[in-house]
């Protein structure tokens, strides 16, 4: 019987500083067999941490077609994440997963996509974008709205130039910008006034609950059904397998039934968003 | 078959049958630590005993449940050395014999078997434990628990046990529910027993109707009966006592504990309770269950919505332990009764308390 509590050691191969408080970690399981068997879908996450300290849920943000390594983007906010930020290349992070369902990409690839990412919630979008660039599904177009407080908070900044060649990328910052900046200024919903949305659209949103509220209100003006809007939810987690109850919302577990839900599925659940 | 065994006629064979029970327990004791209902200061508790004469045979539920032994408060998952966990080579567990488990608790045990079907530690504990159910029938029309269940023809085949002992005024009747149980009975020299084949927790006749009714009552009630939940939230102390004694509560969290040597220690699993505010806390301090009303609703939702949704079996077996321990007398059966009423007919807050007995 597999041990559901066991995390496998993974070696840090690369660390890239993304923002004042976020690092991108490229990892590889120490056991080749485990790395080989590690397949995930966009939107899935792992439980990662340091043995002796603790662990927490983190989205996988490399391309799902990359099989020899995987990436996590980790923001320093508390006990475990601060400790992770002290690690160096060659050190070990313990990882179990992948968990959750991720985005229903087969269904979503039938449509054009609008990716809405706020702050560090953008992490999981990177997988969707990288997969798209590799796969280029026929006839599908992607629009990306990414909003942060100030320029330094943008994750994956070094990749924007490449991404722009493939997707319609719109970046917006809340703080006043310098004159000749390439960014829009305002909050993410302001982009709805500035950019014409694609037709036949499905939406993926990852960000804080407040962003969901405002974005959902704006999306009402478009012919997009609640079933075509996907949100990734954040909850306290421990087991990752739908047993410990920490992440439950209504009848669902965010770890097992999510973390991605269609808006239609959760809109009536008390406290879900 | 079962009902015929109860109160058919007065009879006088009780004594030799009781001898059989002793024979069985004596045999089992040879290789298992016996856990049985024993009288203590505050009531009858399942606890370890060597002395068979101390065992209380009664129709009352024990204060604690099998949970204390099969899903203990703290469970060691791994040792760790440096930055890596050490996977156990094998999963070991003490050989326990749990005697005196009521039908109600056996139902909760079947729930655990489902929930922890992928947990090798729980499975090892289960495999090394022999479960001996026991029911003393005090009156012919006896009901069990807050949902007033009755013993039906097919009750036993939906419960997981190794041996079941039915104690009625027609004597003791033995049932085996597994090869392990069969072996124990035979080796103990008891020839007269019946085999019961476990056919899973859900009856052929369909879903448990009490469960279906409670599901409907609880599901959207945070919206429809908001006031009721807020009243409960005001009264509940969030002490978590109910979840500690509840045989179907199994929330947990995992932790690391450092050992004597540097960079070594253990990863352990501890019981947790959704009544504590930390339960839903995420980085930055936000708590999704930020009021007691939300937490007590969350507790009911787990039992009456999530478990039925996922496993088609009730998440509350109706033992009533939570009612007994609650310091502010919150009574789950009364709460369910109130949730069954339209909002306009809701009783005042007093009626949610348990009746003075
Ligand atoms: C599905 C999912 C995906 C996530 N993806 C990312 C990501 O890609 N990058 C990233 O930086 N962060 C992500 N987070 C948030 C991240 O899990 C927390 O920031 C992290 O666990 C905080 O741990 P800490 O010990 O530093 O914080 P502390 O506040 O010290 O946390 C203490 C404990 O609470 C738990 N905890 C705290 N915050 C959260 C939280 N928000 N969600 C779940 N458990 C929490 C921790 O696991 C830890 O056990 C994600 C959360 C979820 C639910
Ligand atoms: S009656 Fe109370 S203690 Fe017993 S199973 Fe139901 S919720 Fe748990
Ligand atoms: S025992 Fe009573 S007061 Fe304590 S948490 Fe449970 S319902 Fe609330
Ligand atoms: S993390 Fe344990 S139930 Fe979801």
pLDDT value of position B350: 56
Tell me, yes or no, whether B191 and B107 share the same domain: yes
Please give the average per-residue pLDDT across B210-235, as a whole number.
96
Mean pLDDT, chain A, rounded, equals 95
Atom of ligand 4 nearest to the CA of A256: 4
Inside any domain, residue B323: yes
> Same domain for A15 and A82?
yes
* Complex-level ipTM: 0.93
Whether A116 and A227 share a structural domain: yes
CA of B175 from ligand 1 middle (Å) equals 50
Question: Which of A236, A242, A244 is opposite residue B282, by nearest beta carbon?
Answer: A236
Q: How far is CA B188 from CA B27, B193, B301, in A?
A: 6, 12, 45
Does residue A112 sit in the same domain as residue A203?
yes
When pLDDT is cut at 50, 70 and 90, the band that residue B137 belongs to is: confident
Which of B149, B171, B195 is the C-terminal boundary of a domain?
Answer: B195
On whether the CB atoms of residues A42 and A124 are closer than 8 A, the answer is: yes
* Domains contained in chain A, number: 2
Residue numbers in A near B284 (CB within 8 A) = 77
Same domain, residue pair B127 and B262:
no
Asked whether residue B252 falls in the same domain as residue B299, the answer is yes
Q: In terms of residue numbers, what domain contains A72? A: 8-99
B259/B171 same-domain check: no
Q: Which domain holds residue B163?
A: 19-195
Any domain includes A3: no
The proportion of chain A whose per-residue pLDDT surpasses 90, expressed as a percent, equals: 91
Residues B136 and B248 in one domain: no
Tell me the chain B residues in contact with residue A236 when contact means C-beta distances shorter than 8 Å: 279-282, 288
Final residue belonging to a domain, choices A99, A129, A144: A99
Q: Is A170 on the interface with B (CB under 8 A)?
A: no
CA closest to A92 among chain B residues: B83
Residue owning the nearest CA to atom 6 of ligand 2 = B316
Domain membership flag for residue A242:
no
Q: How far is B171 from chain A (nearest CA, A)?
A: 42
Inter-residue contact A94 to A51 (CB < 8 Å): yes
Q: Does residue B6 form part of some domain? A: no
**Are both B54 and B87 inside the same structural domain?**
yes
Least confident of A157-161, B106-110, B146-150, B279-283: B146-150
A chain contacts of residue B298, beta-carbon cutoff 8 Å: 248
Do B185 and B215 belong together in one domain? no
Q: Is B84 on the interface with A (CB under 8 A)?
A: yes
Selection from A144, A123, A122 nearest residue A133 by Cα: A144
Shortest Cα distance from B305 to chain A (angstroms)? 6
| In a domain? residue A175 | yes
Which residue's CA is the closest to the ligand 3 atom numbered 6?
B242
Which chain B residue's Cα is nearest to A75? Answer: B283
3-state helix, strand, coil in chain B (%, to 5): 40, 20, 40
Is A188 touching B (CB cutoff 8 A)?
Answer: no
What is the per-residue pLDDT for B317? 97
Q: Kindly report, residue by residue over B47-91, the tens digit of the pLDDT.
A: 999 999 899 998 889 999 999 999 999 999 999 999 999 999 999
CB contact under 8 A, A248 and B279: no
Query: For residue A265, how far is the Cα from the chain centroid?
Result: 20
Q: Which of B137, B161, B195 is the last residue of a domain?
A: B195
A92–chain B Cβ distance below 8 A for any pair: yes
- Tell me, yes or no, whether A241 lies in a domain: no
Residue A262: inside a domain: no
Which pLDDT does position B153 carry in this prediction? 86
The model's pLDDT over A208-227, given as tens digits with 9 standing for 90+, comes to 989 999 999 999 999 999 99
The reply to whether B9 falls in a domain is no
Task: Tell me, yes or no, whether A261 lies in a domain.
Answer: no
Sequence-ordered strand ranges (E) for chain B:
33-40, 43-48, 74-81, 84-86, 96-101, 129-136, 163-168, 171-176, 193-195, 252-258, 264-271
> Is there a domain that residue B327 lies in?
yes
Choose from B253, B262, B294 for mutation: most chain A CBs within 10 A.
B253
Domain count for chain B: 2
User: To which H or E segment does residue B29 belong?
Assistant: helix B14-29
pLDDT beyond 60 at A167:
yes
H helices within B209-340, ranges in order? 209-219, 221-224, 226-235, 241-245, 292-301, 307-311, 321-325, 332-339
- B282–A53 C-beta distance less than 8 A: no
* Higher per-residue confidence, A179 vs A119: A119
Query: What is the pLDDT, as a whole number, of residue A154?
Result: 94
Is residue A184 one of the residues assigned to a domain?
yes
**Contact (CB<8Å) B288/A271:** yes
User: Shortest Cα distance from A23 to chain B (angstroms)?
Assistant: 17
pLDDT at A94 over 70: yes
Distance B317 CA to ligand 2 centre (A): 6
Whether B255 has a pLDDT exceeding 60, the answer reads: yes
CA distance B178 to chain A (A): 22
Residues B240 and B314 placed together within one structural domain of the fold: yes
What is the pLDDT averaged over residues B19-42?
A: 94
Query: What's the average model confidence in pLDDT over A89-93?
Result: 98
- Pairwise CA distance, residues A230 & B353, whole Å: 43
Examine residue B52 and state whether it is found in any structural domain, yes or no. Answer: yes
- What distance in Å separates residue B89's CA from the closest CA in chain A? 11
Q: Kindly state whether residues A189 and A227 are assigned to the same domain.
A: yes
Which-ligand-closest: CA of B218?
A: 2
Report if residue B159 sits inside a domain. Answer: yes
Please identify, among A99, A126, A159, the residue that sits at the C-terminal boundary of a domain.
A99
CA proximity to A249, closest of B123, B274, B174:
B274
A74 lines ligand 1 (CB under 6 A): yes
Select from B156, B173, B195 the last residue of a domain.
B195
Among all chains, which residue has been given the structure tokens 């655990």? B112
Q: What is the mean pLDDT of residues B192-197?
A: 95
Same domain, A110 and A218: yes
> How long is chain A?
273
Same domain, A50 and A119: no
Shortest CA gap A94–chain B (Å): 7
Residue B273 CA, closest ligand 3 atom number? 5
CA distances from B297 to A43, A148, B77, B304 (A): 29, 35, 31, 10
Domain membership flag for residue B87: yes
A208 CB near ligand 1 (under 6 Å): no
B188 and B44, same structural domain?
Answer: yes
**Does residue A217 share a domain with residue A114?**
yes
Q: Any chain B CB within 8 A of the CB of A9?
A: yes
- Only one residue has tokens 């077609």, namely A65
pLDDT score recorded for residue B51 = 92
Report residue B19's pLDDT band, with 50, 70 and 90 as the boundaries.
confident
Token look-up 């068997």 returns A37
Confidence check: pLDDT of B354 > 80: no
Kindly state whether residues B186 and B223 are assigned to the same domain.
no
Nearest neighbour of B120 by CB, restricted to A3, A53, A251: A3
Looking at the structure, do residues A114 and A198 belong to the same domain, yes or no?
A: yes
Q: Do A239 and B256 touch (CB under 8 A)?
A: no
How high does pLDDT run on average in chain B?
90
Using alpha carbons, list the distances in angstroms from residue A142 to A103, A161, A165.
Answer: 15, 15, 11
For residues A228 and A119, state if they share a domain. Answer: yes
Residues A116 and A180 in one domain: yes
Please check whether residue A166 is in contact with residue A133, taking contact to mean a CB–CB distance below 8 angstroms.
yes
Q: Do A1 and B123 touch (CB under 8 A)?
A: yes
Cβ(A58) to ligand 1 under 6 A?
yes
Same domain, B53 and B186: yes
Q: Do residues B101 and B229 both lie within one domain?
A: no
pLDDT in tens, B151-172: 888 999 999 999 999 998 888 9
Question: A248 and B305 in contact by Cβ < 8 A?
Answer: no
Domain harbouring A208, CATH code: 3.40.50.80
Minimum CA distance residue for ligand 4 atom 3: A242
Task: Select from A58, A96, A246, A261 the residue to mutate for testing ligand 4; criterion: most ligand atoms less than 8 Å from CB.
Answer: A246
Is residue B5 situated within a structural domain? no
């Amino acid at each position: 019987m597999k041990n559901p509590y066991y995390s496998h050691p993974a070696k840090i191969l690369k660390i890239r500083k993304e923002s004042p408080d976020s690092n991108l970690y490229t990892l590889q399981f120490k056991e080749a067999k485990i790395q080989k068997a590690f397949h995930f879908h966009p939107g899935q996450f792992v439980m990662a941490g340091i043995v002796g300290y603790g662990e927490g849920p983190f989205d996988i943000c490399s391309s799902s077609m990359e099989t020899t390594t995987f990436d996590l983007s980790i923001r320093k906010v508390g006990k475990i994440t601060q400790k992770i930020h002290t690690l160096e290349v060659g050190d070990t992070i313990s990882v179990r997963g992948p968990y959750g369902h991720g985005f229903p990409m087969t269904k979503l690839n039938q449509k054009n996509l609008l990716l809405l990412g706020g702050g560090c919630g953008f992490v999981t979008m990177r997988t969707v974008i990288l997969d798209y660039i590799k796969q280029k599904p026929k006839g599908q177009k992607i629009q990306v709205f990414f909003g942060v407080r100030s320029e330094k908070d943008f994750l994956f900044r070094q990749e924007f130039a490449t991404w722009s060649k493939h997707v319609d990328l719109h970046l917006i910052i809340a703080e006043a910008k310098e004159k000749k900046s390439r960014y829009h200024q305002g909050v993410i919903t302001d982009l709805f006034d500035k950019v014409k949305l694609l037709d036949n659209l499905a939406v993926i949103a990852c960000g804080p609950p407040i962003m969901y509220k405002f974005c959902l209100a704006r999306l009402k003006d478009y012919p997009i059904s609640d079933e075509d809007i996907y949100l990734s939810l954040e909850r306290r987690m421990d087991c990752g397998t739908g047993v410990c109850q920490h992440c439950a919302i209504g009848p669902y577990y965010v770890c097992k039934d999510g973390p991605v839900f269609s808006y239609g599925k959760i809109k009536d659940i008390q406290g879900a968003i | 078959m079962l009902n015929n065994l109860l109160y058919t006629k007065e009879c006088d064979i009780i004594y030799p049958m009781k001898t059989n029970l002793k024979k069985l327990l004596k045999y089992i004791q040879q290789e298992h630590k016996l856990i049985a209902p024993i009288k203590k200061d505050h009531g009858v508790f399942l606890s370890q005993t060597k002395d068979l004469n101390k065992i209380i045979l009664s129709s009352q539920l024990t204060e604690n449940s099998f949970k204390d032994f099969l899903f203990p408060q703290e469970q060691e998952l791994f040792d760790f050395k440096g930055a890596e966990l050490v996977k156990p080579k094998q999963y070991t567990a003490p050989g326990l014999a749990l005697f005196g488990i009521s039908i109600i608790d056996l139902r909760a045990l079947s729930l655990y078997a489902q929930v922890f079907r992928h947990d090798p530690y729980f499975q090892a504990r289960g495999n090394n434990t022999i479960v001996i159910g026991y029911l003393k029938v005090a009156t012919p029309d006896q009901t069990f628990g807050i949902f007033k269940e009755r013993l039906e023809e097919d009750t036993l085949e939906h419960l997981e046990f190794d041996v079941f002992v039915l104690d009625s005024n027609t004597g003791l009747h033995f049932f085996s529910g597994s090869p392990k149980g069969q072996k124990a009975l035979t080796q103990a020299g008891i020839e007269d027993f019946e085999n019961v084949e476990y056919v899973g927790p859900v009856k052929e006749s369909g879903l448990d109707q009490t469960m279906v009714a409670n599901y409907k009552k609880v599901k959207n009630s945070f919206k429809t009966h908001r006031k009721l939940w807020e009243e409960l939230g005001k009264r509940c102390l969030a002490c978590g006592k109910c979840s500690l004694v509840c045989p179907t509560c199994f929330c947990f969290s995992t932790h690391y504990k450092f050992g004597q040597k540097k960079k070594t220690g253990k990863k352990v699993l501890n019981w947790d309770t959704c009544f504590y505010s930390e339960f839903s806390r995420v980085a930055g301090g936000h708590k999704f269950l930020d009021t007691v009303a939300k937490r007590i609703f969350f507790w009911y939702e787990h039992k009456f919505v999530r478990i039925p949704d996922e496993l088609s079996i009730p998440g509350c077996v109706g033992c009533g332990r939570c009612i007994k321990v609650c310091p502010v007398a919150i009574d789950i059966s009364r709460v369910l009764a109130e949730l069954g009423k339209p909002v306009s007919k809701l009783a005042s807050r007093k009626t949610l308390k348990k009746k003075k007995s």
